[in-house]
Chain A
């Protein structure tokens, strides 16, 4: 199993450009998440999908949109990139759908390093 995969690994954008970050998992997990990691701030939840067909906002959703394409895939879109969105983006997945056990482990992908000039 590949686990959680993310593409691309690196990306440089100019202000105002758009792009989509792709995430896929092969563990048959129900819940998927998008985080951003910034120095000194830990990881912050952008959006999550508690099950196929549902999405919801996390702590820092402004400037982003998501699509849960199917059970395996969860994409993150930046419609008009801004320098403040320069960050490392992580996708994660966990087995249990919304309302499940709180100790459900989240499994993380390797991340996408995004720079917005």
Chain B
């Protein structure tokens, strides 16, 4: 079975500071991992995904994530936060089943960016 855990339901950073959002997975098979962002009153938008081609994955809006098998982690980072980054972020994992690519989501991390 696949599960995804996000540490910290709320994270607050100052504008210009490093953003670090944590995600750990547990899986009996190699997982596929995703980060999605949800802006207020909108649907989810893909930030980046781990495809096993490279452990460091670059996404949109300056975000990146590193897959660390030894730590079963896929943390999301951005060197310098902008006010526009304020949103909720979801880590998700999937394993292939005969019925398709079923995603398991973490509980989300609300990012607040302060002046």
Contact = CB atoms under 8 A, between A and B. Distances in A.
Interface of A: 4, 31, 33, 35, 40-45, 48, 50, 54, 56, 58, 90, 92, 94, 96-111
Contacts, number: 78
Interface residues of B, number: 29
Contacts of A99: 96, 98, 100
Interface of B: 9, 32, 34, 36, 41-46, 49-51, 90, 92, 94-103, 105-108
Nearest to B45: A108
B105 A44 contact: yes
A58 B103 CA distance: 10
A109 B43 contact: yes
Given A42-B90, A98-B98, A99-B96, A106 B103 contact: yes
